[in-house]
Homo-oligomer: A and B are copies of this chain.
């Protein structure tokens, strides 16, 4: 029996993308799982930039459709929250009924990251809701990112693994990713690879 897993995350945007994706692919194989990685694609030449975007979107969706599971790297990317493309992919896989896991390499939860985002200038409104200085609600449900994502994962029996990576390894540390691989392999009843 084989179980294939779509490796979602912002690794494709790294300067050393190929190296990092290859590392995740090797770790996935070592865990007894079949990696399906969004960097592994050839896009035919297209007449416009936007058509290039459509072509990548189509290939990535096809890859997701072929996978049994997803492990989504939800580490905050260019700001306080996860990479939006990865969030889309996680929603897509939840709706397709696949096995869903996620991880983040930043330990503070979304609430604490947002308090930092507002430099501590937050307040509780008359209804007891925590808000930033601009009045926007601060997510306060003990989760790493949007409740749609962590809720979508946990309600399906998956897990969001939180790891406190060194600041210079936030995009490359694979500790949490490897825990996800182990959880997924166990769930699929694969023999332990260690």
A residues neighboring B (CB under 8 Å) = 10, 12-15, 17, 48-50, 52-54, 56-58, 60-61, 78-85, 87-96, 114, 117, 125, 131, 135-137, 140-143, 145-152, 154-155
Q: Lowest 9 CB-CB distances: which A-B pairs, in order?
A: A57-B151, A91-B91, A79-B79, A53-B141, A85-B146, A88-B91, A95-B95, A53-B147, A15-B135
CA of A148 to CA of B60 in the docked complex: distance in angstroms? 8
Known: A85-B148, A88-B91. A154 touches B14 (CB 8 A): no
CA of A145 to CA of B53 in the docked complex: distance in angstroms? 11
The answer, among B82, B94, B114, for a CB contact under 8 Å with A92, is B94
